[in-house]
Structure 1
Amino acid sequence: MGDIVLCREGYGSSRVKKNYVSTDDGRLLVVDQSPTGTTVSHFFRSVFLPQGYPESVSQDYLEYQIWDTIQAFASSITGTLAAQAVLKGVGVGDESATVLAATMTWILKDGTGMLGRIVFAWLRGSSLDCNSKRWRLFADILNDLAICIEILAPNFKSIFTPLVCTAGICKSIVGVAGGATRAALTQHQARRNNMADVSAKDGSQETLVNLAALVCNLALIPLVTGKQTLIWFLYVIFTCLHLYANYSAVKCVVMETMNQSRLNLIVKDLLDSSHIPGVKQTNHSEPVVFRTRRKLEIVLGSSVGKLCNSAKDLQDLLLLYKGMPYLLGLNIKRGEICIALSEGSTTEDQLQSCFQAEVINYVYENLYKNKTLHSSLSPMVQALEGGDVLGTLTASLAYTKSTIVAFRQGVLQQGWTVDPVLLNANEWRARWDSNGVTDKKEF
């Protein structure tokens, strides 16, 4: 009769394969069909990569993790050089140094770092999700600066403690910005509601890298101790590697959610070429070092009081935006477009209001560049040239209403998601009716 294969199975997209065979004597035989060496590679994949890789993560996962591994290794090397310098500064190896002085320095360093962490989270916490790539790179640049200060500190005995405290503040900010943005990037990479698994495996990868760096440091430290020129040479080399790897890491991330920087690029491309750019193209063009530069800054979720200077201005806005979930005001002198949201506004309303604001900014930026704009933008051009703010708002609103449905369909076809959006809206919300009555609230 011969053996009969009853079942075949495989582990995800890996090459681990098994056959379940019924033998002549009735036994169930498990036959491993995996190629040679697959078991070892499968073991390491299961230890260091999320379950279901690569289907369970975003397409940019592997490239990002490679660059992240390189930067973590470089950071571990420079961090050890800094730790050696700080220990030397507090008196390790110096017979005249006291335990009390070293302890006080360490306490002050930790204390100022804790305060810095609280203040930074208060001032910038809400923008970390919206601009996670830029803040991630900022955190790593600041970390290198802190390490530089720590290496320098022992050379300035009179101000050693203030320098170390400054470095502590920088590193505390790095901890907040780096940790928060890492969580945002992990959320982007997790495609099977497996954020915890992706985060845990990322931690395993980093631990392995740190172990490798630890072995290198054990061999390196005896060679560089007391040799300042060699220390600075290694610091420069590994810092350059660290910064390049971090820049490459954030540039390769492709996020489908819209923030103000990506929306700015999409609207510019749309108005320049009547084409909505794809997710990958826009992400690669997104600035990750500096903020998006506009002539008119966009403030979403603004207080109603910032939109107008008089009761008549407010009444004009209420009449223009009658029945709409937002009010948009333009102040050319301040270089601002402020958007007040109603209590019932949705993410779609936020996207539409920011789209209108980006259109106004685009026309304003190109007003004096002798650039031929599409005929549909002519009413806005004429209004801005004449300094007619209300006319500009009226023309931009009419253009937005005529194009917003096609815009939403276009971005969805290109792979963008419109819910949620990361447009960094403030928390002011208002109520208004046709009689011009508003009631501001802050939640």
Structure 2
Amino acid sequence: MEDCGALLATERYGSGESWHYIAKDGAMESRRDGREDESRGNSFWGLMKSVFLPQGYPESVSGDYLQYQFWDTVQAFSSSLSGTLATQASLRGVGVGNQEATVAAATVTWLLRDGTSMLGRIVFAWLKGNKLDSEAKKWRLFADILNDVAMFMEILAPFFPAWFTLIACTSGLFKAVVGVAGGATRAALTVHQARRDNMADISAKDGSQETLVNLAGLLVSLILIPLVTDNPALTISLFFLFTALHLFANYKAVRSVVMETLNEERLSIALRRFLHDGRVLTPMEANRQEPVFLEFRKTLPIKLGVRLQEVVQSPEELRLALMRKDAPFLLGITNGCVRVCLAAHAHTRDEIRATCQAIWLSHVSSPSRQREGLSQMVHESYKLMDTAFDAFHKGLQAAGWDVTRTLLDWDEWRLEWKPKIR
């Protein structure tokens, strides 16, 4: 029987390959474990993996990475084809191919469109920038829907020459919103996917994947352009086909994301289930129930981290509020909104509890209940959390939630108050 030698050491490259070091005949030999996949870089698929996937994949990324990237690739390909059709229409609209069109007129139209886009970026980032982290899935999907609307407007614009400039500017404004929302939510999802502080590597490989997809889209577009030129019916038909694929892929992409950090929606889903039957949902279960479309609230809105004067208006109200519970936050219902004022020394656990109370109040504050007295409802919320929150918080940890940080939409106001106000 052949002497295999004495095993000295074993090393692995992530989950990709394994090597054994053997002492034999006074020398050390290295042998690759034959049960593993082909060596990294020694096969076509190994090369593709090293070029387009983050180092250390799959251990270095979240479990939902591959499924999300698959659907993200599909949506990017379909969006590339739709963009080709929209670009052709825009060029035709500014006069490309029209001998009567002037360079000056086309330049003015393009400058107006770019100027509108720049202003749109600034205004949207000012109004909604703080929502893009806490509601990344919703704004990611919204951005792609709005992008399809903008491209459809570009395709229709040449049929309305008198309104072309207005349509082009509106389309540019929509695309500016898409640029801000899409880029910001992509960054938020990258933070979620990174498991080894490798956000830059994941972002770079995502860029490589997108570039490859756009290259494939470019090649297909070279075939499409001669077919759709001067054929509006075919252009619109193909656009709707690509748009349907784009929206479906985007929906599947955001649905595949399983975030372990709590935002208001996921916390609300988990809390309602816990109060119903005492069971804490896992991140997978709660993410499946999380809505991914922007919607009008049917409950009282919640504002977290507000100023003291938005919760209480007199020293007596403040004294009564502090007597209800020795907690690092104050909570009240004013002007049809649940508002929470947070202490400067509050921790993440306190933020989660305060939000839980606000969520409960938001869902039970029907007009009939409000007639019973807002202060009584607030008092009930404190009593409920006194008995239920500790078990709920421990359940969140046991179920796999990351409770060391949150994506709750807190504003920056913080308050310091004396332990007792007489």
TM over 0.5: yes
Counterpart in the other structure of 2:353: 352
Corresponding position: 1:394 with 2:379:
yes
Instruction: Check whether the contact 1:318–1:432 (CA below 8 A) recurs between aligned residues.
Output: no
Deviations 1:405-433 (A, max 9, x none): 11110110011111211110112222322
Counterpart in the other structure of 1:440: none
Counterpart in the other structure of 1:237: 241
**Structure 2 residue aligned with 1:298, among 302, 310, 315?**
302
Query: CA shift at 1:359, angstroms?
Result: 2.3
RMSD: 2.4
Query: CA shift at 1:11, angstroms?
Result: 2.7
Instruction: Check whether the contact 1:109–1:164 (CA below 8 A) recurs between aligned residues.
Output: yes
Distance change (3 Å), C-alpha of 1:385 and 1:344: closer
**C-alpha separation between the residues in 2 aligned to 1:3 and 1:341?**
67
Corresponding position: 1:186 with 2:171:
no
Counterpart in the other structure of 1:378: none
Distance change (3 Å), C-alpha of 1:110 and 1:386: closer
Counterpart in the other structure of 1:11: 13
Distance change (3 Å), C-alpha of 1:324 and 1:44: same
Instruction: Check whether the contact 1:262–1:286 (CA below 8 A) recurs between aligned residues.
Output: yes
Counterpart in the other structure of 2:330: 327
SS in 1 for 2:331: strand
SS in 1 for 2:90: helix
**Structure 2 residue aligned with 1:414, among 383, 387, 399?**
399
**Structure 1 residue aligned with 2:176, among 172, 194, 201?**
172
**Structure 2 residue aligned with 1:403, among 388, 391, 395?**
388
Distance change (3 Å), C-alpha of 1:87 and 1:317: same
Query: CA shift at 1:219, angstroms?
Result: 0.7
Which amino acid in structure 2 is aligned with residue 71 of structure 1? Q
Distance change (3 Å), C-alpha of 1:234 and 1:306: same
- Unpaired runs of 5+ residues, structure 1, are 369-383, 438-443
Distance change (3 Å), C-alpha of 1:271 and 1:363: farther
Which amino acid in structure 2 is aligned with residue 207 of structure 1? T
Instruction: Check whether the contact 1:259–1:423 (CA below 8 A) recurs between aligned residues.
Output: yes
**C-alpha separation between the residues in 1 aligned to 2:105 and 2:74?**
37
Counterpart in the other structure of 1:425: 410
Distance change (3 Å), C-alpha of 1:385 and 1:165: closer
Corresponding position: 1:105 with 2:109:
yes
Distance change (3 Å), C-alpha of 1:391 and 1:89: same
Distance change (3 Å), C-alpha of 1:391 and 1:9: closer
Distance change (3 Å), C-alpha of 1:111 and 1:7: same
Query: CA shift at 1:3, angstroms?
Result: 7.2
5 Å-filtered alignment, 1:3-82, equals 4=5, 9-14=11-16, 16-18=17-19, 33=34, 39-82=43-86
**TM-score, length basis structure 1:** 0.88
| Amino-acid identity (%) | 47
Distance change (3 Å), C-alpha of 1:30 and 1:413: closer
**TM-score, length basis structure 2:** 0.92
**C-alpha separation between the residues in 2 aligned to 1:114 and 1:359?**
41
SS in 2 for 1:431: coil
Query: CA shift at 1:386, angstroms?
Result: 5.9
**C-alpha separation between the residues in 2 aligned to 1:25 and 1:310?**
87
Q: Using the TM superposition, name which of 424-433 and 215-224 deviates more.
A: 424-433
**C-alpha separation between the residues in 2 aligned to 1:296 and 1:35?**
55
SS in 2 for 1:430: coil
SS in 2 for 1:192: coil
Q: Using the TM superposition, name which of 21-30 and 137-146 deviates more.
A: 21-30
Deviations 1:111-141 (A, max 9, x none): 1111100000000001100000001001101
Distance change (3 Å), C-alpha of 1:158 and 1:305: same
Deviations 1:139-182 (A, max 9, x none): 10110011011111111111211111111111111111000000
**C-alpha separation between the residues in 1 aligned to 2:322 and 2:152?**
55
SS in 2 for 1:283: helix
**Structure 1 residue aligned with 2:223, among 213, 219, 225?**
219
**C-alpha separation between the residues in 2 aligned to 1:362 and 1:181?**
28
Instruction: Check whether the contact 1:319–1:434 (CA below 8 A) recurs between aligned residues.
Output: no
SS in 1 for 2:403: strand
